[in-house]
Amino acid sequence: MQPNVISLVSIGRHPQSGRARRSEQDGRALELGLKLSGSHLQVAHAGAYDSTFSGSAEETVLRQYAGMGLKQMTVLKQSSDADVIPSLSHYLESQSAQVVLLGVRAESGESSGMVPYLLAESLGWPIVSRVADIVSIENGEAEVLLALPRGQRRSVTVTLPFIATVDNAAPEPRQTAYGPGQRAQFNAVDTPEVLDELRINWVEAPAKPRPKRLKVIKAKTAAERFKAATAKAQGGSGKVMKNESAQEKAQAIFDLLIEEKVIR
């Protein structure tokens, strides 16, 4: 049985030029969705869909996603300052989705990364964040690899239906093809719209560079400051083993490695 997979995509933002683009993580979510259910994958985007849509930057980006091999795509009609959660959760419920894939953080807007969590809470589904791969889906359970810092992977199983956010460690999205992207159909769906009221009071400004933290040296005399600036490794703090047998020395190293949990 093919699992019912839905990938949600958003409009990305190129880090240098600031232009709209296919988002890195959403592209990976789509790629993972294609791997799981091929042509049965459903892709949805919540955003503006009105008279200005055709020819807009949004359309271009959505067609880039579509160019990864989609025949059609759903657009949930929302205005740009709406809260997308009610609309998305309504849509996911109506589609009886089993696996929902998103990026970890949007590249535009607040990019708080809260959308998947709020969806999970409103639907009552489990959520796993920072997925590197979904290995298999069987018997109402999915085996998922999570991406951890330092290139580590953790294996977990999650019961269906669930929400997953896709990490940058997931396989890269395929190249988009222009022609198929242009031929893809958009299905516009009317969904309930709720205004995001909190956000109206926020002030947005271009990011200021953050001040670098200075190394504060709390030295009272010049000699102490000189010492702090030129200090070499201090001796005497570590344990030194000299006269033990090689076996004992190796054992000591081994114990330390076990204690630090780097050897399993």
**Footprint on residues 207-246 left by another protein (CB under 8 A):** 207-208, 210, 213, 221, 223-224, 227, 232-242, 246
Least distance between another protein and beta carbon 59 (Å) = 20
Show contacts with another protein in window 151-170 (CB under 8 A). 151-159, 162
Least distance between another protein and beta carbon 134 (Å) = 13
Judged by DSSP in three states, 258 sits in helix
The nearer residue to another protein, 1 or 213, going by C-beta atoms, is 213
Least distance between another protein and beta carbon 206 (Å) = 6
Show contacts with another protein in window 187-206 (CB under 8 A). 198, 201-206
- Supply the DSSP string of 11-70, one letter for each residue: EEE-TTT--EEE-HHHHHHHHHHHHHHGGG-EEEEEE--STT-TTSHHHHHHHHHHTTT-
The nearer residue to another protein, 39 or 214, going by C-beta atoms, is 214
Binding residues for another protein, rule CB under 8 A, total: 80
Least distance between another protein and beta carbon 185 (Å) = 30
Least distance between another protein and beta carbon 232 (Å) = 7
Q: Which two tokens stand for residue 24?
A: 């890195």
The answer to whether 190 and 78 have CB atoms below 8 angstroms apart is no
Question: Which residue type sits at 14?
Answer: H
Which residue is associated with the tokens 């200021």? Answer: 208
Show contacts with another protein in window 71-130 (CB under 8 A). 105-114, 117-118, 120-121, 125-130
In 3D space, the residue among 45, 41, 63, 68 whose CA is nearest the CA of residue 184 turns out to be 63
Least distance between another protein and beta carbon 8 (Å) = 16
Show contacts with another protein in window 1-40 (CB under 8 A). 13, 15, 18
How many residues make up the chain in this entry? 264
The nearer residue to another protein, 86 or 109, going by C-beta atoms, is 109
Report the sign of the C-alpha dihedral through residues 62, 63, 64, 69, in that order: positive
Q: Which two tokens stand for residue 46?
A: 């919540």
Q: Is 264 in the site for another protein (CB under 8 A)?
A: yes
Report the sign of the C-alpha dihedral through residues 217, 221, 225, 230, in that order: negative
- Name the strand (E) or helix (H) holding 65: helix 57-66
